[in-house]
């Protein structure tokens, strides 16, 4: 990554997946936390700054799309990478138009996920410098 580790929020209602993802990210030098659903994710993102949010689309309660919409309304500066097992080109285009940084399919290779997080983190840092 970079000298400063990216702070990543993993949003997935599948507990085992979320916890495993946190372990993988932390083993690769990132700071990560798991939110078990949309409401928890929105509360956590409002409470602490995150650089990247890995967001599942299909969750009980709030959908990933609704979480993305609310993050946009709140002007949350985190880069959102959609991570979903349900592929659709139309969904990908819609989510990107709603403000998602990018879209990955589950399962994805760890190096692909880390590369995407790195790119999103770099973009977030550029935006922070431009604001400051």
CA–CA separation, 47 and 51 (whole Å): 13
List Cβ neighbours of 69 (8 Å cut-off, separation of 6 or more).
Answer: 98
Q: What is the pLDDT of residue 110?
A: 94
Tell me how long the chain is. Answer: 132
CA–CA separation, 83 and 132 (whole Å): 30
The answer to the question of residue 1 being in a domain is no
The answer to the question of residue 115 being in a domain is yes
CA–CA separation, 34 and 91 (whole Å): 24
* pLDDT tens-digit readout, 25-53: 999 999 999 999 999 999 999 999 999 99
Owning domain of residue 127: 7-131
* pLDDT tens-digit readout, 60-115: 999 999 999 999 999 999 999 999 887 788 888 999 999 999 999 988 999 999 99
The answer to the question of residue 53 being in a domain is yes
Look at the chain and report how many structural domains it folds into. Answer: 1
The answer to the question of residue 2 being in a domain is no
Q: What is the CATH number of the domain that holds 11?
A: 3.40.50.2300
Q: What is the pLDDT of residue 132?
A: 65
The answer to the question of residue 93 being in a domain is yes
Q: What is the pLDDT of residue 89?
A: 84
Q: What is the pLDDT of residue 84?
A: 86
The answer to the question of residue 11 being in a domain is yes
| pLDDT of residue 2 exceeding 60 | no
Q: What is the pTM of this model?
A: 0.93
The answer to the question of residue 27 being in a domain is yes
Radius of gyration of the chain (CA): 13
DSSP H or E stretch at residue 7:
strand 7-11
């Amino acid at each position: 990554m970079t000298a400063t580790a990216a702070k990543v929020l993993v949003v997935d209602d599948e507990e085992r997946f979320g916890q495993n993802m946190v372990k993988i990210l932390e083993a690769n030098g990132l700071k990560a936390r798991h939110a078990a659903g949309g409401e928890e994710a929105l509360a956590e993102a409002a409470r602490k700054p995150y650089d990247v949010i890995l967001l599942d689309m299909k969750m009980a309660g709030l959908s990933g799309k609704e979480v993305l919409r609310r993050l946009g309304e709140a002007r949350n500066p985190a880069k959102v990478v959609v991570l979903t097992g349900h592929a659709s080109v139309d969904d990908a285009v819609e989510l990107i138009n709603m403000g998602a940084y990018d879209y990955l399919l589950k399962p994805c290779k760890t190096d692909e996920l880390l590369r995407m997080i790195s790119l999103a983190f770099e973009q977030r840092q550029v935006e922070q410098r431009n604001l400051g």
